[in-house]
Amino acid sequence: MIELLKHLRLQVDTIDDEIIYLLSRRFELIKQIAKIKKENKLVIYEPERADEVMENVFEEAEDKGVSKDVVEALWKIIIEEAGHILKED
């Protein structure tokens, strides 16, 4: 039983690492988007895009049986950070 717990915890740790990696990739893409928007004098922050992202993740969460409240809390933070990245010079 102890070995199973260790194995399961190792899997959780691996998933945590993957989440951090994916967040890093997501934020790098946001930086690229910000650069393109600035170079082309496009609107930097689009609230409708944030709404679209939230709708998409809510749908995905529902399909996967993940709490909407948890997803909403996480994505509000992620979208807020993306907004900071978009506004950086």
* Per-run averaged pLDDT (10 residues), the chain, 89 residues: 97 98 97 95 93 96 97 96 87
Q: How far apart are CA 7 and CA 1, in angstroms?
A: 10
Question: In CATH terms, is domain 2-87 a member of 1.20.59.10?
Answer: yes
Residue 56 and residue 5 in contact, taking contact as beta carbons nearer than 8 Å:
no
Tokens 């997803």 identify what position? 71
> What are the extents of the domains in the chain?
2-87
What backbone phi and psi angles, to 5 degrees, belong to 12? -60, -45
pLDDT for the residue 87? 86
In the 8-state DSSP scheme, what is residue 65?
T
